[in-house]
Amino acid sequence: MARTIAVSGTASGIGKTLAGLLREQGDTVIGVDLRDADVCADLGGAEGRAEAVAQVLDLSGGTLDALVACAGVSDFTELPVKVNYFGVVALMEGLRPALARARAPRAAVVGSIAGTHPADDAIVRACLAGDEPAALEAAAKAVAAGAGSRTYPSSKAALARWMRRACVTPEWAGAGIPLNAVAPGVVKTPMSAPLFEDEAMLKVMNEAVPMPLNGYAGPEVIAEALRWLVSPANTHMTGQVVYVDGGAEATLRGPDVF
């Protein structure tokens, strides 16, 4: 049976690949992105988030079978906090009632292996408290102190913790909505392309994300994992961060973390 699925980040990378896979199997996809999408909106601000939710609700008729948040940024500014955490959470919460109206709703977010890397505690705390001004202030302080590289891991760590907290609540599990995350390692997408062009950055990346199984992934690898997580076949998996990372998480954290 064809389903209606909203996917953010469909203009490129993982989101674009996932949208293609879903359409190939007969689903209707409502793509959300800054441009080249069914819904063009900026998830970095409250106005854009509200507009994205409103347009998806309009295009879906108020009922969604699945929702996947792929949109994200990876620079060393405050932007990852705006988009990767507050943008994703606003989209998920804003469209949750539409999911609850479906017969077999599913939801997933895209995390990152970077969520296991050192984070800024003040950013993470403020994110989980839902205090965006405080989170952005903490991120600005980190950037000013030369620790801008922690804003991206912080946004992804906070998102994973939000997902773990929300997934078992009456609003999600109680409404029959599995909520999970896929955490990729290094994926060859337009977002990561600059890293491959800089030998020094490539060396740092390989040390930070060692991938002993088959090396770097293509976007289709992550998209396939997301496709299963939001399929009707997934009836009982919720609250899981699925590391599709070539063994990076197991290498970095070792066998005692599971």
CB 216 within 8 A of CB 188: yes
Provide the strand spans (E) within the chain: 4-8, 28-33, 39-40, 66-69, 106-110, 179-184, 241-244
Residues in Cβ contact with 100 at an 8 Å cutoff, skipping those fewer than 6 apart: 171, 175, 176, 177
Distance CA 183, CA 193 (A): 18
Q: Which of 85, 152, 216, 243 is catalytic?
A: 152
How many residues are there in the chain?
258
Distance CA 70, CA 181 (A): 10
Beta bridge partners of 5: 29, 66
Is 216 a known active-site residue? no
Spatial strand order in the sheet of 179-184: 39-40, 28-33, 4-8, 66-69, 106-110, 179-184, 241-244
Residues in Cβ contact with 225 at an 8 Å cutoff, skipping those fewer than 6 apart: 182, 242, 244
In terms of Cα–Cα distance, which of 139, 32, 155, 28 is closest to 94? 32
Catalytic machinery residues: 152
